[in-house]
Homo-oligomer: A and B are copies of this chain.
Amino acid sequence: MDVGAPKFRRRKADRPAEIVQAALAVFAEKGFAAAKLEDIARRAGVSKGALYLYFETKEDIFRAVVGQGIAPNVGAVQAMAAAHPGPLADLLRGVTAHLATVVSHTPLGGVLKMVVGESGNFPEIARVWHDELVSPALGAMATAIQAAQARGEVKPGDPRIYALQLISPLLVSILHRETFVPVGAEPFDIPAVIAQHIDTLLCGLLTEGARA
């Protein structure tokens, strides 16, 4: 597909994506209100007016940026939803490994910051994120955990809270990276966090001797 397209000057078709990418960087750094369309345009290598050839308003660009973060991830959520029946540990490792990859290879961190910071100004964006990502993902994991509990694999307890416990350190280390590392904080080694977290979550941090 797209065979025979202009050799170089791969122009027109890419513009919207280029703009969204530029906008992501600016929005993530400044937030919605403080981001200037001129900065976005400059970073995208186009004129201010050109933005309006592809988007109706600034909000429109913002929605496109935040929406970007969803589509590529719902697949992962669905995969998790296909709670494979093997031992839970395998599932957890799979899920977190996948998330670690996403987090490293996509600007999910910046988008997450935007969603948190602008949820008051754009409730419908928060709603979309919740309905399409947060809620399904939590639900899928809770379902898988519940199944493991039914199999006697996992102790009693609220499966939704277990799911929360599972992903929280990853989210917090991302927000830490976005928020405090730029001002001098020592970053967390995210793969190390995941590895240690899975072990701890599964078996606890107390030694055998310390358990009352």
Contacts and interface: CB of A to CB of B under 8 A. Distances in A.
A28 B120 contact: yes
Nearest to A154: B205
A88 B204 CA distance: 13
B207 A204 contact: no
A130 interface: yes
A210 B168 contact: no
Interface stretch (A14-22, A41-49, A97-105, A171-179): A171-179
A5 interface: no
Interface in A68-127: 87-89, 113, 115-121, 123-124, 126-127
Contacts of A203: 203-204, 206, 211
Interface residues of A, number: 71
A158 B87 contact: no
Interface string A186-212: 001000110011011111111101111
Given A116-B113, A158-B192, A180-B130, A205 B210 contact: no
Contact of A34 (B33, B89, B113, B169): B33
Residue with the highest number of chain B CB atoms closer than 10 Å, among A118, A120, A123: A120
B201 A152 contact: no
A172 B164 contact: yes
